[in-house]
Amino acid sequence: MKRILIFSLAYYPSNVSGAEAAIKEITDRIDPTDIEFHLVTLLFDTKAPHEERIGNVHVHRVGFGGAYFSKVLFIPLAAHKARQLNKSLNFDALWSVMTYMVFPVVLAKWLGVKAPHVVTLQDGDSYEKVFQRPFIRPFTWILDNGFRTAAIIQVISNHLGAWPARRGYKGTSELIHNGANPRDLKESVDTNDVWRVQEQYGKKEGDVWLINTARLEPQKGNDDTIRALASLPKNVKLVLVGAGSEEGMLKTLTKELNIEDRVIFTGAVDRSKVTAYRKAADIFVGPSRSEGLGNAFLSAMASHLPVVTTREGGLAEFVFGDEEDGHERTAWVVRKDSPEDIVAAVKDILKHSEQVREIIDTARKMVEENYDWDMIAVQMRERVFGRVV
């Protein structure tokens, strides 16, 4: 049996976004008698167990809670934990998921963990934000060391595929996309669960629900959707599924625009239940300013929702409007920072039901063929893990 140690700042059961979901979807599909996965993560909740098994992953939590200082200390604590675990488990490889997880990998190797490492780029922020923030710049040489010495780097989009060479990596990056939420692809949601969501949040006959199932962060563009909502008919409402740093600002914006009764903030929702929220809605609107790939958009397409979004970052891999030659249309493309484009797109969707059906069927078929986790897990085992274990 081979052993791989994963580094991820957050992990299940809370603080889960696309990168954490990708880890679980991949590791759950790999035979545990083939590869034994361990994972070091931050102890966000001090009441959570320091060690437990989740799916096919043995989770080890370190730290003192989710405060900023604790997140900073995660790097040396994770590296020390890796050194401690390696004494008994003798890892065959290390795996950093997201750019900043290269920090503890490099430090662990400096502390004597002699194993090749894999880097997976899942970042949703822009290159400039990741590498050029003032408090990161003094330490980018450590990141560059981790990039240059990686056995292999896997990226989830061509957009992210340009990053490794800029940090000194001389190898070839492996492009393996993320997938859609399996519950959206397999149509496994109970109709009663969908009705309960609609009843809980008061969806009435004739209401049209716009939805976004992403963190409430600046790059997601939810402020543009709220501004657009003010120019749409009153039966059109917005459901924001998720939590994040912009929640307070977005709620203030709804007050300023006098549309508080038309915007629903659900807070964080377990990923296993998010599909029911998508099924309860009518249009997925996510005018992102940056995306590594965009798992939530793939899941929305799998759920047969018309998608309104930009083509920023990795979204350009699968979001196609009328202007993209050689591709069937899969979405309604808007410019970033353009509420007026969102208004026009929503009105177009509400007006042309036959065209909408054709586009969402095309998008669903594309996701089925190219963004299924069963296929992705096989690719990861053969093309990534197979290179280091």
Domains of the chain: 2-179+372-387 (3.40.50.2000), 182-370 (3.40.50.2000)
Across the chain, what does the average pLDDT equal? 95
pLDDT at 333 over 90: yes
pLDDT of residue 128: 95
pLDDT of residue 190: 87
pLDDT-derived band at 208 (thresholds 50, 70, 90) equals very high
Q: How far apart are CA 124 and CA 21, in angstroms?
A: 14
3-class secondary structure per residue, 188-253: CCCHHHHHHHHHHCCCCCCCEEEEECCCCCHHHCHHHHHHHHCCCCCCEEEEEEECCCCHHHHHHH
pLDDT-derived band at 323 (thresholds 50, 70, 90) equals low
pLDDT tens, position by position, 122-159: 999 999 999 999 999 999 999 999 999 999 999 999 99
Residue 339: cis peptide before it, omega within 30 degrees of 0: no
Could you tell me which residues come within 8 angstroms of residue 146 by beta carbon, excluding any fewer than 6 positions away? 96, 102, 103, 105, 106, 117, 119
CB 336 within 8 A of CB 287: yes
pLDDT-derived band at 186 (thresholds 50, 70, 90) equals confident
What is the reported pTM? 0.90
pLDDT-derived band at 189 (thresholds 50, 70, 90) equals confident
pLDDT at 325 over 70: no
pLDDT tens, position by position, 257-277: 999 999 999 999 988 899 999
The number of C-alpha atoms within 13 Å of 361 and in the hemisphere containing its C-beta is 6
User: Tokens 């965009």 label which residue?
Assistant: 294
CB 49 within 8 A of CB 87: no
CB 334 within 8 A of CB 311: no
Q: Alpha-carbon Rg of the chain, whole angstroms?
A: 21
3-class SS of residue 109:
helix
